[in-house]
Amino acid sequence: MEKIVIIGGEPLQGTIEISGSKNASLPLMAASILTNESVILDNTPNLADIHTMGSVLDSLGVNFDKSKLIENNQIKLTYQESDKALAEYDLVRKMRASILVLGPLLARKREATVSMPGGCAIGARPVNIHVDALAKLGGEFNLEKGYIKCEAKSGLKGAKIELPMISVGATENIIMAASLAKGETEITNIAIEPEIIDLIDLLKAMGAQIEVGPNRKVLIQGVDELHGATHTVIPDRIEVGTYIIAGAITQGDLEIRNINFDHIKNLLSVFESLGVDMIKSDNNLKVKISDISKSIELDTREYPGFPTDLQAQMMVLLSLSNRSSVIRENIFENRFMHVPELNRMGANIEINGSQAKINPCNGFSGAQVMATDLRASVSLVLASLIAKGETTINRVYHLDRGYEKLENKLASCGANIKRIQ
């Protein structure tokens, strides 16, 4: 099993190019089921999750052409008429986002059988919101032997749908399905993450009629068919936040490129309030030597709130302050698994239910640590960059799911980091 070894203490100096968004790419890939023509995605990150979704789609009759992925981050997806409407457990269990094929399959094939995604390290993410919303479009559902079986013999029909809670995945699934439903669909209480707007932009380029309104509302006029399109994936805002923290804690001079500042306005205000020294120019950002001496209370919330995907990384930054801060996790019920590992490295973090109190610490020290999920993994990398001595991070396959060329990007800016068997 591979490990990452880091010797801390090196300031990051240089340039890091932000990759395309993983969380945007996955639903964009699923949308290829909605047309027989090719969907070409530029700026797609070369990540394990991309390959997993490609395998799921391939099993459903989508030709996943990844020949240009390594060279120029482009993939081509072409759905071929197929009798395949089964997403099997062995594929779906690897990534919960595989559930995103449910809506497109039901819309195109009028039937679908998709394995329940199964457990998740950071908490339960029930699929009943997806199922209930699709049922309002005319889908009939049964749960058999761990599979969601659904059909819509007469096709899907537009409806008024109010999601009971804000859900990114359910919003994506129902928007894709409604694009080919007969008549008008009105969905309220939708998630409005940039990744969802990116999906809507692709669907509109494919011929969908979608209008995003105020107050988390979207109107969709169903069309008979969609066509192919070429689309550029948005930059990964979570990667941006991660590298801003990396620049701030290592006291270097780091330039981060390919940023969409419209996607991170509230995030930047949080960093500014803590004293992170940043200079913006065009779509680039320079992070300078920063004095983190303030405290803050943060609540993870749906966009445009503070993202849960940056909660673990933020704990490393807040540990360097001389005042205590508080983070309340409101999205996932089990997303503090990185805390014991950070504490082993010298952090002083106290957990009380869904609240974490991050107290000042005397710095981090190298240790053997274990990654538990994607964002937890990168928080350990951040702590290792400033730790005294050597840190070995185990289970780094989590990192490969969401951070493209992480070691290369950090090493190019002076980090002492390497991957070993």
Contact by Cβ (8 Å): 393, 6: yes
Contact by Cβ (8 Å): 30, 101: yes
Across the strands, what pairs with 359?
348
- Give the Cα-Cα-Cα angle 329, 321, 281 (nearest 5 degrees): 85
Q: Return the SS3 of 233.
A: coil
- Ordered alpha helix ranges (H), 224-344: 237-250, 265-274, 311-318, 339-344
Pick from 297, 195, 296, 285: which is nearest to 246 by CA?
A: 285
Burial (CB count within 10 angstroms: exposed 0-12, middle 13-18, buried 19+), residue 124: exposed
Contact by Cβ (8 Å): 342, 318: no
Pick from 51, 52, 50, 58: which is nearest to 33 by CA?
A: 58
Pseudo-torsion of CA 264, 124, 118, 66, nearest 10°? 0
Tokens representing residue 346 in the block:
């010298």
Helices 22-30 and 48-59 pack at an angle, to 10 degrees, of 10
The span from the first CA to the last CA of the chain, in angstroms, equals 6
- Examine the residue annotation and report whether 120 is marked as an active-site residue of this protein: yes
Tokens representing residue 99 in the block:
């559930």
- Which is catalytic among the residues 120, 150, 361, 413? 120
Q: Which residues are annotated as catalytic? A: 120
